[in-house]
């Protein structure tokens, strides 16, 4: 990516601001970003904007259970998206569920980012046998589907927020490792690394202070895609009943909870949380796709 930096210095137009402008150049990217902003804002502000606290049993009215969308409860409260089998307002449940899904995904991806990048950069700069051995581990893990690795880990660990984070990190670090290694292999031959080495800087300082900033662009793209993956994978695991505990109803658990009622035609309990899930995952993927185009000049047509 240092080539990009060089050109950034030569032609001032290719700075971060120009890149931002390029990013918002397509309507897909604009719509995706807007949708993401709304969803994230809804999740962050859930305790203040949700009509109801779905964890507070005192606020739930069992008589108002399984009401269709746009119904009103006994107290006159409007249930915009209906209620579930415990009289919980679906819209509130979605906002709180999204919160849990987003927190679990971003925390997992952050850990995976740090671990995977460190692993990949060490492998890439070490080279030779150490590199071959380290990448063997990555290859073997990549040959087994992520869902299987996560399921087995959760079978060993049990349910829980911390456990699902461990499972997601174990699945995702490899993608960062692969990307970081590829960048490290290219960058370590560049002159600025030689210069840093000749100045007598320590290996750690060169890795963190010099190599890492130049590897950041592709890693951020990977991180964005992986947040979407993490959300989808966590939802799947929770749907299968091996992910988050029932006390932490993420989107996946909400969907699982409504599945039985869907067969009777009470679609809203599952469908609306599902729509929120799909919107988040798809918007992040669209944004990541555009980011890749903007950050990697070779890919732009």
The one among 45, 49, 155, 208 contacting other proteins by CB under 8 A: 155
CB atoms < 10 A from the CB of 81, how many? 23
Binding mask 12-31 for other proteins (x = CB under 8 A): --------------------
Asked if 157 is part of the footprint of other proteins (rule: CB under 8 A), the reply reads yes
Q: Are 93 and 273 in contact (CB under 8 A)?
A: yes
Q: Does 140 bind other proteins (CB under 8 A)?
A: yes
With CB under 8 A as the contact rule, which of the stretches 50-58, 184-192, 239-247, 290-298 interacts with other proteins? 239-247
Say whether residue 186 binds other proteins (CB under 8 A).
Answer: no
6 or 137: CB nearest other proteins = 137
Residue 38 in contact with other proteins, rule: CB under 8 A = no
CB of 140 to other proteins, least distance (A): 6
274 sits near other proteins (criterion: CB under 8 A): yes
**Considering only residues 16, 76, 128, 158, which one is a binding residue for other proteins as defined by CB under 8 A?**
158
Total number of residues binding other proteins (CB under 8 A)? 38
How many Å is the Cα radius of gyration of the chain?
A: 23
- Near other proteins in 216-235, by CB under 8 A: 228, 232, 235
Pick from 132, 147, 246, 260: which binds other proteins (CB under 8 A)? 147
Residue 255 near other proteins by CB under 8 A = yes
Judged by CB, which is closer to other proteins: 83, or 170? 170
Phi, psi at 66, each rounded to 5° = 55, 40
Is 279 among the residues that bind other proteins (CB under 8 A)?
no
Interface with other proteins (CB under 8 A), residue from 70, 130, 152, 208: 152
- Which residues form the interface with other proteins (CB under 8 A)? 140, 143-145, 147-148, 151-158, 228, 232, 235-236, 239-242, 255, 259, 262-263, 265, 267, 270-271, 274, 277-278, 281-282, 285-286, 289
């Amino acid at each position: 990516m240092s080539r990009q930096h060089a050109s950034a210095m030569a032609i001032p137009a290719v700075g971060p601001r120009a890149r931002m402008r390029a990013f918002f150049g397509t309507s897909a990217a604009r719509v995706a970003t807007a949708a993401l902003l709304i969803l994230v804002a809804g999740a962050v502000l859930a305790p203040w904007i949700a009509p109801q606290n779905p964890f507070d049993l005192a606020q739930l009215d069992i008589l108002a259970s399984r009401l269709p969308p746009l119904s009103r409860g006994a107290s006159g409260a409007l249930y915009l998206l209906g209620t579930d089998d415990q009289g919980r307002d679906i819209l509130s449940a979605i906002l709180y569920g999204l919160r849990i899904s987003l927190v679990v995904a971003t925390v997992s991806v952050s850990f995976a980012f740090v671990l995977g990048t460190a692993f990949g950069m060490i492998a890439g700069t070490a080279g030779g046998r150490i590199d071959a051995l380290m990448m063997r581990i990555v290859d073997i893990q990549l040959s087994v589907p992520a869902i299987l690795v996560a399921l087995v880990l959760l079978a060993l660990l049990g349910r829980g927020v911390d456990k699902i984070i461990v499972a997601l990190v174990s699945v995702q670090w490899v993608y960062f490792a692969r990307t970081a290694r590829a960048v490290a292999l290219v960058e370590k031959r560049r002159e600025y690394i030689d210069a840093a080495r000749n100045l007598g800087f320590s290996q750690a300082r060169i890795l963190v202070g010099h190599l890492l900033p130049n590897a950041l662009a592709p890693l951020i793209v990977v991180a964005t895609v992986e947040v979407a993956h993490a959300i989808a994978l966590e939802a799947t695991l929770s749907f299968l009943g091996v992910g988050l505990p029932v006390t932490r109803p993420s989107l996946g658990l909400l969907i699982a909870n409504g599945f039985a009622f869907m067969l009777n035609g009470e679609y809203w309990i599952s469908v609306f949380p599902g729509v929120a899930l799909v919107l988040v995952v798809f918007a992040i993927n669209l944004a990541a796709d555009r980011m890749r185009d903007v950050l990697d000049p070779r890919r732009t047509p």
